[in-house]
Amino acid sequence: MALFACLSLSGSMAFAQGKSPESKPPEASAPPPLMLQHPSLSAGLIAFDYGGQIWTVPRAGGQARLLVAGQGQNSGPVFSPDGGLIAYTGTYDGNTDVYVVPVGGGQPRRLTWHPGRDVAVGWTPDGKNVLFRTPRTTPRDLEQLYTIPVTGGFASPLPLPSGFEASYSPDGSHLAYTPFSQWQPAWKHYRGGQTARVWIAALGDSGIIKVPRDNSNDRNPMWAGDTVYFLSDRDGPVALYAYDTKTAKVTAVVKNEKGFDIQSASAGPGGIVYDQFGTLNLFDTATRQSRAVPVAISGELPQTRAHLETLDPGQILHAALSPTGKRVLVETRGEILSVPAEKGDVRNLTQSPGVADRDPAWSPDGKTVAWFSDEGGEYALHLRSSDGMGPVRVISLGQPPSYFYGPLWAPDSKKIAYTDKRLNLWVVDLDHSGDHPTPVKVDTDRYDSPATRLDPSWSPDSRWIAYSKQLQNHLHGIFIYSLADKKTQMVTDGRSNATSPRFDRGGKYLYFVAFTNNGLDPGWLDMSSMGRATDGRVYVMVLRRDLPSPLAPESDDEPAAGKGGGDKGKGKAEAKDDGAPDAGDKKDDAPKGDGKKADGKKAKEVRIDFAGLDQRTLALPIPRVNLAGIEVGTEGVVFAGASPIALTDEDYTDGDEAGPPGVEIARFDLKTRKVDKFLDGVDAGSFAVSADGQKVLYAQHGRWFVGGADKAPDGGASALKLDEMQVWVDPRAEWRQMYHEAWRIERDFLYDPKAQGLDLARAERVYAPFLEAMAGRVDLNALFAEMTGHIGVGHTFVGGGALPKQDRVSVGLLGADYRVVAGRYQFARILEGESWTPGARAPLTQPGVNVAVGDLLLAVNGREVTTEEEVYRYFLGTAGKQTVLTVGPKADGSGSRQVTVVPLPSETKLRLHTWMEENRRKVDQLSGGRLAYVYLPDTASGGFSNFNRYYYSQVGKQGAIIDERFNHGGEIADFIVDQMKKTPQMVNATREGEEMVEPAQAIYGPKVMIINQMSGSGGDALPWLFRKANLGTLVGVRTWGGLVGIGGYPPLIDGGSITAPRWALYGTHGEWEVENIGIPPDVEVEQDPALVRQGHDPQLEKAVAVALDQLAKNPPVPFKRPAYPDRKPVLPDPVR
């Protein structure tokens, strides 16, 4: 662990912090504002974090002193009551934990060791324990508040079901706290179900008092004397308020009409320190006055240093093969590198720190490399000699600016086709348009959806482009565009989903993939599209009417008299196959042009006879599979990629990080008509064929290879020398580029072109000054979150980036809770999972282990366990490994035994499963077995799996409780709603056995859905649809209110991400009914902490009561079988 404390630093950088910013940007001459965050106050000092390090400064301001630095990320310092220690949150070895360090400097001490995120929150009033929050024992989303001794040891939970921020009353009997976190704390004017609120809990019985509010966001409570101070947006930008615990009245103490939001605050002796996004300020509780605290930072800021960095293969975003497969272009860290397949060195073709160079492509003649670059402020097409020498040719792609994708060279190396974010397909002629070529729009797709893939393909003579476009029925059709005529024609029938068009290199055929059993599959946002096995075939379209079928019946015959050797299956019409039209052809559909290939030789002219193409379309003898796409090799060779079956949560085992098994590639040869397995386990989107058809490029689990295209590599492929990839990284230049990129993404991807009324250009100017005084990448993420929060829309998320690298050290978990008995850790609860269900394995309930509640944990791998350290410290490095436990009934070790277990890397799935099963049993018990219980963790694969498993397995119950609390969304759950709509239609009577109601797989009685503030996105849509369908009653509290969708953004150059919602859902009556509102319940029920403490789940219990009341009013009525009909048949007399 690389932690150290510094007493002083001499600086290579110095920034001064001045007055609080107004709504206008600072003057050019003013020092840049500093991203000083999470301040804490003692009698003489202010502590804060900056650039992932902990600093202190005198209360009067001045030169800041670095206290804690290192390779990790450190944040959230909190002074102890006597001011002698600082607790803070540190992330080291891939784990976030609570640390303490003396104010005067020294070695920090790690207090918590759980692999979950433990975050320092405060101290107990006596200074003996650190208060922190952690999700370690909660089933989903919520965090709980714990205390742990400052000397280390057992962490004790507070008697509250959840908590996020908190502050003790001076006597320690009460706690002011916020009960839950927010997914987007910077969302301005947010008024959905996750609005923050401050509660005051009596720790004796967990009774609460709510600080008055009108759906405002109240957070960051601080207790000082008889007053609870807090931050709130109730009057506009976030300001400081006070709640008098005696009068129960709220007053504003620091107003904020037009300034930046106050981000955080902390009470200390005689005052409150707060950061107003760029300044530290001190509020004097006696004088009720506030002043800015000037802070000077000097010293080395290691995350800002420019350096040569060796890149990891996982940082490759795109790769392109050279024409003969000797080299590979890779896009990584904003640069374009040329990597040898075997011999030579890695070359940086762009050498442009702080510029995003994307999507490289190599011309078929090998002379030129093309890519998109934002070097000029907006993306343009750049061209350069493939050896990296000489000037760069820049081609403007016109107005309005956009994002561009997939530059595809024509075989003659004179033209490039590409697509853009605006759904357009373009082609630019680099040879015939002078110095300033003008792109020509080919076509525009119909829908902006994940299915948008125009996917162009050039004909061998560079005169035709085939592409796939969405139709009104949401299927795709294949279109062919003539560059000569500037016209396009659809060549498929529109009744199948036709994609991935590819011209054969001989120019006689067009291959494509088509699915004819799509059904509901194209409804990409609909859950009803899930779980459907679709399979496609590869088809070949014979482009000329004078060509024979490539799949004509074959026959082995001796050559006829007077003939030379013959080929199998050849007919007369194939004698003339050079592409020239027959003399008798009156119509020539081939476009005019020079028709030369890149090597200067005249290319075979591709002629397309559009009439009758549908009758000249044949299915290749390749098995029907879930095809992902095709590529072509040499003439007559097709590579087909088959995707794995869509996986759900249950398809993964504990700790499985490998992900899906990858794409399987088959090779088909039209000449032999044989299909051979070529590759498997190929990373999606990585497979490519060289321009000459002789080599292939692919990746497997992040490792890249170049191999021959004529047969399966079988280990003979060359692994790329990716360990030699190095680029010059200038963090500040990158931050400036990513800042502009972030605003470009909002400008170009946001579904609302007016950005909810926000002037994006002005907002970019307002926040730009913060760029120059950042100390670390975490500061940039904080800036992104705050500035995009002004858009006021859900799903505006920020994450990742080039944070300091850490080697993750795992901590194993046993699926248990502990208590302290006689100086030992005792098993207080053992989670019971399902050993046959991946992710729900409980280590202590495996056969032969036989550890029981009440047993003591005495040793781990022979090391004695005591309560001087947190129990999880003893499981460092044990996740997924055989671990020997010594357990027994007595603290002295008598009667102990040893058992071998395999600890889990995470208990998240196990705890969720346990909570779900406890709820199911509780509903069964409360309802006397009459009601089903189904939990839906999301509206994606997890919710789909759970509904199919648990809803239908409880058919026969008289009603159902559908629990969608903590539902993280995904798709629109139309499938679930449609299934719950089913009503009895008829009864199937049989001679033996019980009667069967049709439809059979249904629960017909009352349905109650439980919702809460952690149900969002698809979790907002589900109760919305439930209510629209009049399916039943909603119980709980208002949902999140974030019904928009995200996806498909370019990653930031250092691997970070930012989103701009590109899909938004409104009601059929023309109203934004859910976004920033949420779905309110029919029956509102809070999770009262006092009731939860007594073992109740108020929301679940109320849902059961509502369903039972509805059952009592409308009990199920048994169906009465009618009397069998008496047809009074008249039989003829018997034959005598």
CA pair distance 617, 540, nearest whole angstrom:
6
Say how far apart CA 490 and CA 480 lie, in whole Å. Answer: 6
Phi/psi of residue 802, each to 5°?
A: -80, 70
Residue with tokens 């024409």: 323
Task: Specify whether the CB–CB gap between 814 and 844 falls below 8 A.
Answer: yes
In the chain, residues under CATH classification 2.120.10.60 are: 3-300
Tell me the C-alpha distance between 619 and 512, whole Å.
10
- For residue 770, the SS3 value is helix
- What are the start-end ranges of the E strands in 730-799? 798-799
**Tokens matching residue 984:** 């009895």
Determine phi and psi for 199, rounding to 5 degrees: -115, 150
Specify which residues 242 forms β-bridges with: 229, 251
pLDDT value at position 186? 97
Quote the pLDDT of residue 10. 29
CATH 2.30.42.10 domain extents, the chain: 816-904
Q: Are 201 and 179 in contact (CB under 8 A)?
A: no
Active site residue 1075: yes
**CB-hemisphere CA count at 13 Å for 69?**
19
CA 746/CA 752 separation, integer angstroms: 10
**What is the rounded distance in angstroms from the CA atom of residue 775 to the CA atom of residue 803?**
12
Sequence-distant (6+) residues with CB within 8 A of 575 are none
Are the C-beta atoms of 413 and 429 separated by less than 8 Å?
no
Q: 883, 899, 885, 809: which is closest to 848 by C-alpha?
A: 899
3-class secondary structure per residue, 1031-1095: CEEEEECCCCCCCEECCCCCCCCCCCEECCCCEECCCCCCCCCCCCCCCCCCEECCCCHHHHHCC
State the pLDDT at residue 2: 34
- Residue 221, CB-side half-sphere exposure with 13 Å CA sphere: 32
Residues 6+ positions from 96 with CB-CB distance below 8 Å: 89, 90, 116, 117, 118, 119
- Helix/strand/coil percent split, the chain, to 5: 15, 35, 55
The C-alpha atoms of residue 667 and residue 689 are separated, in whole angstroms, by 12
Residue 832 among the catalytic residues? no
* Tokens read off for 404: 């561009």
The pTM of the full predicted model, rounded to 2 decimals, is: 0.92
pLDDT the model gives residue 645: 62
Is CATH 3.30.465.10 correct for 449-552+603-690? no
DSSP secondary structure string for all residues of 796-862? --EE--SPPP-----B-B-SEEEEEETTEEEEEEE----TTSTT---GGGSTTT---TT-EEEEETT
Among 170, 173, 178, smallest CA distance to 220 is for: 178
What is the domain class of 3-300 according to CATH?
mainly beta
Q: What is the C-alpha end-to-end distance of the chain, expressed in Å?
A: 107
Which homologous superfamily does the CATH classification assign to the domain defined by 909-988+996-1043+1078-1113?
2-enoyl-CoA Hydratase; Chain A, domain 1 (3.90.226.10)
Residues of the chain predicted below pLDDT 70 = 1-30, 432-434, 560-601, 645-660
Number of other CB atoms surrounding residue 360 within 10 Å: 25
pLDDT for the residue numbered 648: 52
SS3 label, residue 616: helix
d(CA 168, CA 125): 7
Q: Which listed CATH number (2.30.42.10, 3.40.50.300, 2.60.40.10, 3.90.800.10) goes with 816-904?
A: 2.30.42.10
**Could you give the C-alpha distances from 1118 to 122, 958, 984, 985, 1057, in angstroms and in order?**
61, 12, 11, 13, 57
Q: What pLDDT is attached to residue 729? A: 97
The CATH number corresponding to 307-444+719-729 among 2.120.10.30, 2.60.120.380, 3.10.290.10, 3.30.470.10 equals 2.120.10.30
Single out the catalytic residue among 795, 870, 945, 968.
795
Q: What angle do CA 709, 712, 718 make, to 5 degrees?
A: 70
Could you write out the DSSP letters of every residue in 110-134?
E----SS--EEEEE-TTSSEEEEEE
Annotated catalytic residue, options 169, 449, 1017, 1057: 1017
CATH 2.120.10.30 in the chain is located at: 307-444+719-729
- Which amino acid appears at position 804 of this protein? P
| Token representation of residue 1078 | 């949420």
Residues of the chain with CATH 3.90.226.10: 909-988+996-1043+1078-1113
Query: Contact at 8 Å (CB) between 608 and 590?
Result: yes
The tally of CA atoms less than 13 A away on the side-chain side of residue 233 is 19
For residue 169, which of 91, 224, 214, 115 has the smallest C-alpha distance? 224
- Structural contact between residues 716 and 707, judged by C-beta atoms closer than 8 angstroms: yes
Which residues, at least 6 apart from 476, have a Cβ–Cβ distance to it below 8 Å? 451, 453, 468, 469, 470, 497, 498, 499
Q: In terms of Cα–Cα distance, which of 634, 637, 635, 703 is closest to 665?
A: 637
Q: What is the pLDDT of residue 590?
A: 41
Per-residue pLDDT at 597: 57
Pinpoint the residues of the chain covered by CATH 2.130.10.10: 449-552+603-690
Please say if 795 is a catalytic residue.
yes
